Amino acid sequence: MKSDTNLLDINRPDTIRMSVDEATQLGAQALRHLGYIDEDVSIIVDQLIDNALCGYHFAGLPRILAMANDPKCRRPRKPLKVVHETPLSALIDGGSNVGYVTAYHATQMAIAKAKTNGIASVGVHNSYFSGRNAYYAEMIARAGLVGIHTACGRLKVLPAGGMKPALGTNPFCVGFPSTQGPVVFDMGTASLMWGEVVLCAHTGALLPEGAAYDGQGLPSRDAQAVFNGGGVVPFGGHKGYGLSFAIQALGLLAGSAFANGQVQDYGFLFIVIDPGLMLPHADFPAQMSELVAKIKATPRRPDVDEIRIPSERAFRERELRRGQGLVLERKVVDTLKSL
């Protein structure tokens, strides 16, 4: 094992370092005990491990604990059902299945339709917990397509000036193919992703100052108090709030109001475009690579070593962690084993 100075993630007494295979086996075992079939286990754990490899620890195996504690996990699940379809679109009833599974299948459907017809829009409702949007956008980009993905969910974010949550964490993501591989921009419109709140509530870590409010509408760093009826604020003040609102509205196109008759619910929307539809005689991947190269070649300030583009850090760290392994909180590992 390399010294801690060479590791992306430092070893601590309260953590355990596991190989990718060991972490995959642990996650798969926990998911099977939650009642997931092998096909779904494979889809879910593949994303969770990839999230951790890319440096999003809260979006890795700790998400299984959030699933285990969510009442939706214990609801009866039905097969996914396409409730409306055209050559260019599809609306999917997720059958109360977890979003890792429903969004995966929606991505595959959107890719197939876009490859056939040049453009596609696919929406999913009656689902929850779709995970990291970049995972799906990368799949789309690796298929040579441009993908736009938005996701809205249950209420965890306070509107500007509000005391109670009225929006989801509402991430927005775009993925592009290039000759050097996918380029993905993925951002949450909340100042703090809810998975971080869940993880901090489990481990006892404090939340960042000014990012969250408790159930009484008071600022709080206590993750448990925020988890129990509180919420987080949008990033960037009124601009982040406006973007979050727009993504919540886009969820209506995915049928978010159909599952429970509420306009504030889960909705996953995918818009996928074949670059050849817009640029039939141009090499879009080569143009993307040229754009990336020009941006990275911008003159840098003296204190800056490199200009990075979105997803570059995550993709680099992914390859390093494949060899170094994944670091998980010991308390998370113990709880997963107890499942």
CA atoms within 13 A on the CB side of 210: 3
Q: Residue 84 pairs with which residues in a beta bridge?
A: 91
Inform me whether the pLDDT recorded for 2 exceeds 60.
no
Q: What is the pLDDT of residues 177-195, one digit of tens each?
A: 999 999 999 999 999 888 8
Instruction: Determine the 3-state secondary structure of 312 from DSSP.
Output: helix
| Predicted local distance difference test score (pLDDT) of residue 18 | 97
Q: What is the pLDDT of residues 83-105, one digit of tens each?
A: 999 999 999 999 999 999 999 99
Mean pLDDT to the nearest integer, 129-134: 95
Inform me whether the pLDDT recorded for 202 exceeds 90.
no
Mean pLDDT to the nearest integer, 230-258: 96
Q: What is the pLDDT of residues 67-78, one digit of tens each?
A: 998 888 888 999
* Structural domains in the chain plus CATH codes: 4-69+314-338 (1.10.1530.10), 80-191+233-278 (3.30.1370.60)
Q: Residue 278 CA to chain centroid, in angstroms? A: 28
Q: Residue 159 CA to chain centroid, in angstroms? A: 21
**What confidence category does residue 3 fall into, taking pLDDT thresholds of 50, 70 and 90?**
low
Inform me whether the pLDDT recorded for 159 exceeds 90.
yes
Inform me whether the pLDDT recorded for 1 exceeds 50.
no
Q: Measuring CA to CA, which residue among 94, 312, 61 is closest to residue 195? A: 61
CA-to-CA distance for 272 and 335, rounded, in angstroms?
39
CB 189 within 8 A of CB 136: no
3-state helix, strand, coil in the chain (%, to 5): 45, 20, 35
Report pTM. 0.92
CA 52 vs CA 132, 253, 269: distances in Å: 11, 31, 24
Inform me whether the pLDDT recorded for 43 exceeds 60.
yes
User: In this structure, what DSSP letter does residue 301 have?
Assistant: P
**What confidence category does residue 239 fall into, taking pLDDT thresholds of 50, 70 and 90?**
very high
CA 139 vs CA 84, 179, 281, 287, 323: distances in Å: 24, 15, 24, 20, 23
